[in-house]
Amino acid sequence: MKMGTLLAIVLFGLVTLAHLLRLLLSTEIVIENWQVPMWVSLLGVIVPATVALLLFRESRHV
CA angle 8, 10, 15 (to 5 degrees): 95
* 40 close to 23: Cβ distance less than 8 angstroms: no
Listed by start position, the domains of the chain span 3-61
pLDDT tens-digit profile of 5-50? 999 999 999 999 999 999 999 999 999 999 999 999 999 999 999 9
3-state DSSP assignment of residue 35: strand
Q: What is the pLDDT of residue 18?
A: 97
pTM of the predicted model, to two decimals?
Answer: 0.87
Q: Which of 15, 25, 18 is nearest to 51 (CA)?
A: 15
Cα radius of gyration (the chain): 14
